[in-house]
Amino acid sequence: MTHFAAYEELSEGQIFETDEFLVTSRDIRSFAEQYDPQPMHLDEVAAQQGPFSGVISSGWQTLCLTMRLMVDSRPFGDHPLIGVAVDSIQFKKPVVPDTRIRACAAIVSKRKSAKIGRAFVKLKVRTLNADNNEELLTQIWTVMLVLPSAS
Amino acid sequence: MTHFAAYEELSEGQIFETDEFLVTSRDIRSFAEQYDPQPMHLDEVAAQQGPFSGVISSGWQTLCLTMRLMVDSRPFGDHPLIGVAVDSIQFKKPVVPDTRIRACAAIVSKRKSAKIGRAFVKLKVRTLNADNNEELLTQIWTVMLVLPSAS
């Protein structure tokens, strides 16, 4: 894993890879009960008759797990991941129980803010099925960096 | 709360309001431990020295709680909220402990899919501080409807 030393060292196309996470039936149920209590996530029988022919994870769960994988991978070292915007979230494939997921982020662009000591980095974040590399979810993050000179 | 009877009854500008939810310190910690374990969400002392001068909720938590509020408000009655895309998520203000939030969604547009029996509705979803109506988070959802004729 590359660690962030300075804004200047970040470059377009630079790639950050995360570890993997196995999404179990229990994870899907636990998340859905709290944040997305709909039959397609909670009720096996109802889900069978729904548009996905079985239980799938909440898209928000896949997003949250992607965040966790990204945080753990520390793309910018000790610098936090401070999101200011997320664009173009596309749910490409449903996440079914026992899918192993991983994420892969690429720097799309970077720019210094008009505010001194701040910068913004855009990342294309892709959540993949770790077993076959199919795209499950893609999104664009805009992350704020607090530059060392400002601290 | 309006209940969805037919695609034809949905109209641009139609508004759906949710209940409120109080975001406690405990909620913020519990979510962050699982999905976004960064000092700005977990460590009061470190957070005081960070860009928000105190603990704030993970933006993903505010998004998930917004989903929960929307699910509970049943904007389309028995029809599920099936997200296919989310655009233009903007974190406008940090959510600090003991903020009461609510959401408000407005139909931006609707269209039938090229695939028979499917339609898409775009919603602008705003998450507000329930006490002063300040915008905390805004986003655009694209939701898929399965039309009764297809079932």
Residue A81 phi, psi (nearest 5): -90, 100
Cβ contact A80–B36 (<8 Å): no
Residues of B near A (Cβ–Cβ under 8 Å) read: 34-40, 50-51, 58-60, 63-65, 67-68, 71-72, 80-91, 144, 146
Under DSSP, is residue A1 helix (H, G, I), strand (E, B) or coil? Answer: coil
Chunked mean pLDDT (size 10), chain B, 151 residues: 68 97 97 96 90 93 98 92 96 97 98 92 98 98 83 44
Put simply, the answer to whether B68 touches A40 (Cβ < 8 Å) is: no
**Closest-CA residue in chain A for B52?**
A82
Structure tokens at B7: 């695609």
Beta-carbon separation of A67 and B83 below 8 A: no
Task: For residue A104, give both structure tokens.
Answer: 């892969």
A15 has a pLDDT exceeding 70: yes
What is the pTM (predicted TM-score) of this model?
A: 0.94
- Can you give the pLDDT at residue B2? 42
A150 — pLDDT class (breaks 50, 70, 90): very low
A30-72 pLDDT, tens digit per residue, is: 999 999 999 999 999 989 988 889 999 999 999 999 999 999 9
Q: Write down the pLDDT at residue B4.
A: 57
The 10 Å Cβ neighbour count of residue A46 is 14
